[in-house]
Structure 1
Amino acid sequence: MDLRKTFIRNLKKLRASAGLSQLKLAERCDVSGNYIGIIESGKRFPSVEMLEKLAQALKVHPYLFFFDGKTEKSAPVIPEKIKLEIIAKLSGVIRKY
């Protein structure tokens, strides 16, 4: 696994999903307009502090930048409380129909 490539791919995907241009993301992170492009091209890798800013600006958990989605081991774990809430809501919908 190449963490840099995974990070770049996920950053681009998450930015696009949020509907943000590189410039708009840079503004939200309070960095220069071309810095996101430099990161996305692989010329620089962000600091931990910048990873936190990116995650906050994109409203995601920082680990998602490194999630490769290829192996079951890397799949995010859904907390038991949330699983139970989902099951309860689905059960209610099923009972309706």
Structure 2
Amino acid sequence: MDLVQLLGKNVRRYRKEKGMTQEELAVAASMERSYVSDIERGTRNPSVAALGRLAEALKIDAHLLLVIV
């Protein structure tokens, strides 16, 4: 699995664990819902700043988005 797909899988997993919709995550991370969807599907390569905003919105450490669980 490549890193972008791993990131997407982890964003989806943590989002669902928190009981958030893509829209709720997008608002919390100051992103468009379609951008969050693209990240979760592994079709978007987000910036480091975007990773930080996602992690903050999910209330997790950013490195957790990039590790195999």
2:17 is matched with 17
List alignment gaps of at least 5 residues for structure 1: 70-97
Q: Deviations over 1:40-84 (max 9, x none)?
A: 122211100000000000000011011113xxxxxxxxxxxxxxx
Query: CA RMSD, aligned part only?
Result: 1.2
1:56 is matched with 56
Instruction: Provide the identity percentage.
Output: 35
Paired residues, number: 69
Normalised by the size of structure 2, how large is the TM-score? Answer: 0.89
- 2:5–2:41 contact (8 Å) kept in structure 1: no
Large movers: runs of 4+ above 2 Å = none
- The residue type paired with residue 13 of structure 2 is K
Normalised by the size of structure 1, how large is the TM-score? Answer: 0.66
